[in-house]
């Protein structure tokens, strides 16, 4: 059973930074899609940033247009971890952030590849 454990999040003022981390365990895939989605009240869950990686090599990164240039995603030093560094945060970034992962079918990631989800961690940005 794949498990995702999230850490980080919290409250920050606009312009500040936060870091989210996600550690995955229990999977044996050689190639994985892993990253973050978010859901604000009254809105659908949407992708924020994710990677397609094989071992320690990251082959593909996706960023939502709204976070490009402000957020970075990377594989952590610990195996099967992904970090999301969020900078220049805006009030509209306020949402519940969910780590998601799944087996990648090829060199990119599709929404349907994300089979496993974390519990979510709240990010609140005040103006």
CA distances from 113 to 32, 41, 116 (A): 9, 24, 9
pLDDT at 108: 86
Give the integer Cα–Cα distance in Å for 101 and 103. Answer: 7
pLDDT at 29: 83
Which residues of the chain carry a pLDDT beneath 70?
none
pLDDT at 55: 84
Instruction: Evaluate whether 58 touches 75 at the Cβ level (below 8 Å).
Output: yes
């Amino acid at each position: 059973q794949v498990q995702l454990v999230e850490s980080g999040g919290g409250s920050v003022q606009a312009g500040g930074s936060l870091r989210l981390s996600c550690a995955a365990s229990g999977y044996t895939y050689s190639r994985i899609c892993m990253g973050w989605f978010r859901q604000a009240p009254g809105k659908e869950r949407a992708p924020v940033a994710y990677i397609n990686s094989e071992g320690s090599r990251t082959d593909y990164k996706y960023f939502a247009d709204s976070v490009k240039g402000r957020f970075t995603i990377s594989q952590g030093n610990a195996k099967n971890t992904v970090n999301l560094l969020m900078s220049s945060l805006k009030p509209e970034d306020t949402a519940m952030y969910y780590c998601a992962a799944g087996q990648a079918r090829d060199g990119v990631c599709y929404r349907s590849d994300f089979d496993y989800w974390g519990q979510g961690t709240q990010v609140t940005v005040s103006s």
